[in-house]
Amino acid sequence: MAQVLRSVAAFRAACDQARVRGLGFVPTMGALHEGHLALVTEAKRHAPIVAASIFVNPTQFGPNEDFARYPRDLEADLAKLDAVGADLLFAPDVAEMYPAGEQTRVNVPLVAAPLCGRFRPGHFEGVATVVTKLLAIVGPCTAVFGRKDYQQLAVIRRLVIDLRLPTTVIGVPTVRDLDGLAKSSRNLYLSPVQRARALAIPRSLAQAQAAFASGERNAATLARVARVQVEAAADDVDYVEVVDADSLSPLMDNKIDDRALIAIACHVGQTRLIDNVVLGEDAPVIVG
């Protein structure tokens, strides 16, 4: 059974003990699915002891976003974490992570600016702040994140380098349902009809991958191919963009050399969904 800790002091003490043997860490917001569990399994490959956290972080949600209704089910999550061999679970409340009088924030301005940064002001500041706090509490040798949140991973890689944190960051490929939809806690919000419409996202990524495989190297053309499908199915499209996979900036002359990120954010009903692949790097998306 994973040991559940609610206070920073108790969790830090448990991490201090574990660290000498090798400690891996997987931060999450709960409502765990196979994507999260793949991160725990990956962490286990790198460290004998793995800690996970479940914390729905208020500072990364905008005022009109889903903080209050975000799915929470600690007991089910704990059973899932036990099944994949997590050793410690940190499940603090908001006051524990944001003590009275708190005011400190972490910003990674350039990496956070494009893509989701344009549509979710303050989101990556909230992410960078909470991840910095968690890494400072845990001090893990290895921390594991999903490539599904590709820009988040880029923000975290940058802050770990910049703040000289003693942690190796690992990114895990996106885990998908059999029909291709990226697993997400927010998929729980989708009705069956909406879920079927959401399949346009992986389909459009697969189509872009196919075009790339046949030699298309123009970023704007590839983005257009994907956008047509997404626009037909989604209620609102935040972006469909092909950008440099490292800097997340536009590509010079729209020309892709060996690899590029295609990233999508759109709304199906009230639910905001994101997905991406790195063309020239990620395995083909299989769509049902």
Choose the stretch contacting ligand AMP; rule: CB under 6 A; options: 2-10, 61-69, 116-124, 182-190: 182-190
**Whether 46 is catalytic:** no
- Rule CB under 6 A: say whether 154 interacts with ligand AMP: no
Which of 148, 203, 227, 272 forms a contact with ligand AMP (CB under 6 A)? Answer: 148
Minimum CB distance to ligand AMP, residue 252 (Å): 29
- Rule CB under 6 A: say whether 146 interacts with ligand AMP: yes
- Rule CB under 6 A: say whether 120 interacts with ligand AMP: no
To which residue do tokens 């490292």 refer?
A: 246
Q: Which helix (H) or strand (E) holds 279?
A: strand 271-279
CB 117 within 8 A of CB 143: no
Determine phi and psi for 35, rounding to 5 degrees.
Answer: -65, -50
Minimum CB distance to ligand AMP, residue 208 (Å): 19
Q: Which is nearer to ligand AMP, 146 or 180 (CB)?
A: 146
Q: Which is nearer to ligand AMP, 175 or 260 (CB)?
A: 175
Decide: residue 146, CB within 10 A, 0-12 exposed, 13-18 middle, 19+ buried.
buried
Q: Which of 36, 46, 123, 267 is catalytic?
A: 36
Alpha helices, DSSP H only, in the chain?
Answer: 8-19, 34-46, 74-83, 94-97, 109-112, 116-119, 123-138, 150-162, 192-198, 200-213, 219-233
To which residue do tokens 């903080």 refer?
A: 67
Which of 5, 24, 36, 44 forms a contact with ligand AMP (CB under 6 A)? Answer: 36
Which of 129, 185, 204, 229 forms a contact with ligand AMP (CB under 6 A)? Answer: 185
Tell me, what DSSP letter sits at residue 2?
P
- Rule CB under 6 A: say whether 265 interacts with ligand AMP: no
DSSP-derived 3-state class of residue 237? strand
- Rule CB under 6 A: say whether 172 interacts with ligand AMP: yes
Residues near ligand AMP (CB under 6 A) = 28-29, 35-36, 38-39, 145-146, 148-149, 172, 174-175, 182-185
